[in-house]
Amino acid sequence: MTDWGVLTRMWKLMRDLRLEVTPALEEMGLAHNDHWLLCAVDEHHYPTEIVNATKFPAPTVSQMLKRLEALGLVERSLDKSDLRRYRFDLTEKGRQADEKGRRLMEAAVRRRLSRLKAREQQELIRLLDLMVQETPVTKE
């Protein structure tokens, strides 16, 4: 069945990409998901927004931010206009880690994606895009 075929192939692909990239990320002190968080902090500066963007559970984000803060990759500051809120920003070190992680991951993808012709790459993106769209939540 096509459904199963697509699922297993994607699963293997993501798994293998992760296996390729994890050792290098670990040398930087990053757990495998940390890089996605850095990306999120780069454009969403508040925990709630980061939760919405990444769909990681709130406590996970809280812990990750605490850890990344301890590593000096993100910086926490109080929002004077609403004392419940913390603002987070990438530090210079954080920006570099983000850059480097991103290059690593891109390189891993490119090794595989380069097997496709340019037109096929475009087509792949288009098809993935169709699938990524939100499915309307069905109520019960």
Site for a second copy contains 5 (CB under 8 A): yes
Q: What angle do CA 28, 91, 83 make, to 5 degrees?
A: 125
Choose the contact partner of 4 out of DNA, a second copy, none; CB within 5 to 8 A by kind.
a second copy
Considering only residues 52 to 81 of the shown chain, the ones binding a second copy according to CB under 8 A are 55
Window of 59-67, 73-81, 91-99, 126-134 that interacts with a second copy by CB under 8 A = 126-134
Considering only residues 69 to 88 of the shown chain, the ones binding DNA according to CB under 7 A are 76, 82-86
Secondary structure of 83-125 as H, E, C letters: CCCEEEEECHHHHHHHHHHHHHHHHHHHHHHCCCCHHHHHHHH
CA-to-CA distance for 83 and 61, rounded, in angstroms? 19
Binding site for a second copy (CB under 8 A): 1-7, 9-17, 19-20, 36, 55, 102, 105-107, 109-113, 115-116, 120-125, 127-133, 135
